[in-house]
Structure 1
Amino acid sequence: MTQIARADGSSAARPEDDVHQGRRRDLAVAALHTWSEYGYSHVSVRNVARRTRFSHGMVHYYFNSKDALVAECVRIIRESEIFSADEPNPAGVTAYSKFVADALCTSFRKNRRLHRIRFDLRNQSQFEPSLRGYADEIEAAYDAAKDAVRRRYESLGWSFDPPFDLLAAQVDALRERAVRDELLGADLDDTVHRLHADLLKVLPKQP
């Protein structure tokens, strides 16, 4: 909210700025829905206008380019808590692995649209250099979450062999498969069940 100075030196909010930011967010959310359903190639000012009550000209007023629209979408994704595995008192490595699997599956069920966009953006960025910075922003958030998981396992006395990066790649591949399966029409509950079972196969277990 923008602040404006009063005569006494204090500040007051400008309500019109709240409206402006609210509309920008609504339009970006519409873009996220378009992106998750149809892919990056369909994200445009014109397509967002078709999904909202706003005219093409009005959408263009808030986002003067596709790049500006994508930047706002990425900001929203980064602000979303897509995954958290902050278990304060796990009973041990096996119990923590179950907690991680549960958290990953909950995240998939709740935020699968955002996961679709993440993988689509990562793939598209291989061919469009202009997207690489956005893909890196989102991957940085995932890397931070992965580092937290690694540190938690290590605090429980677990040593990774093979290295943790290989495990993280396996987990990522399982999530990408789940995203693809659900997008292509697989039952959501079945997809989540399969994801959970396969995560438990690859996550660390105490002998």
Structure 2
Amino acid sequence: MTQVSSKSQERLSRRQVDKFSERRAQLAASALQTLSELGYARTSLREIAQNSEFSHGVLHYYFRDKVELITHCVRQYKAECVTRYDRIVVDAGSAEELRQGFGAAMAATLREDATLHRLWYDLRNQGLFEESFRADVLDIDQSLERMIWRVVSRYAELAGSPPSVSPGVAYAIFDGLFQQALLGYLTGRDSAAADLQTNVEQVLDQLVVRT
């Protein structure tokens, strides 16, 4: 009888944890648009509550403060991005298909999610000043580096040549290209997305050893 009761309590506890996590995810998704529009410095939990269907008290119940909410939002969005690129890696049947798919995906996310990426760079910059951000920023950054490396290493495999750079260098190159394109896109440069796609495809081809 005690064993049955213990298992029931464990199941109940797991359900409570799952419901709590699900609710946090819903709140983060709702808050993400406001955060991406206003940025870190200009956003408070009260501001987010005023721009969503949730009260300030509800946000405060699920998140300790603005820092925890922002990092949760960005982590959640970047995890979705990683999944999107991983699908391209899995589906590509040739090096050329992967190269074009990767370039197109980078350009598409620039056009569709520019303000969300801006929030990520805002958070990463804040990590240089605020220690409370650094562990989460580093963790997200490393997940993006691993994602880029899966693209590069798979491209090298399909091309039949080893990569010519390390994972860190590959990530720095593509991150730099994207951040530069993001600034151009946000300041109204019409060719920013198309230029990014071209640059990504050209650079990826240069990151494998040529004999």
Task: Give the TM bin, normalised by the shorter chain.
Answer: 0.7 to 0.9
Deviates more, 1:175-184 or 1:151-160: 151-160
Distance in 2 (alpha carbons) for counterparts of 1:161 and 1:21: 41
Aligned residue runs from structure 1 range 124-203, under 5 A: 124-155=126-157, 156-161=159-164, 165-187=168-190, 190-203=191-204
**Do the aligned residues in 2 keep the contact of 1:125 with 1:131 (CA within 8 Å)?**
yes
What percent identity do the matched residue pairs reach? 30
Provide, for residues 44-80 of structure 1, a one-character-per-residue CA deviation record: whole Å limited to 9, x for no partner.
2111111113332333233232233134224413431
C-alpha displacement at 1:9, in angstroms? 5.9
Task: Report the AA paired with residue 155 of structure 2.
Answer: Y
Deviates more, 1:136-145 or 1:154-163: 154-163
Provide, for residues 65-99 of structure 1, a one-character-per-residue CA deviation record: whole Å limited to 9, x for no partner.
2233134224413431343331445434x443223
Aligned to 1:91: 94
Distance in 2 (alpha carbons) for counterparts of 1:161 and 1:7: 59
For residue 139 of structure 1, give the secondary structure of its aligned residue in structure 2: helix
C-alpha displacement at 1:172, in angstroms? 1.3
Distance in 1 (alpha carbons) for counterparts of 2:68 and 2:175: 28
TM-score normalized with structure 2 length = 0.74
Aligned to 2:108: 106
Residues 58 and 193 (structure 1 numbering): CA distance in 2 closer, same or farther, change over 3 Å?
A: same
Name the Cα RMSD after superposition. 3.3
Aligned to 1:56: 56
Task: Report the AA paired with residue 171 of structure 1.
Answer: F
Question: Whose helix fraction is larger, Structure 1's or Structure 2's?
Answer: 2
Residues 6 and 41 (structure 1 numbering): CA distance in 2 closer, same or farther, change over 3 Å?
A: farther
Structure 1: give runs of 5+ residues left out of the alignment: none
TM-score normalized with structure 1 length = 0.75
Structure 2: give runs of 5+ residues left out of the alignment: none
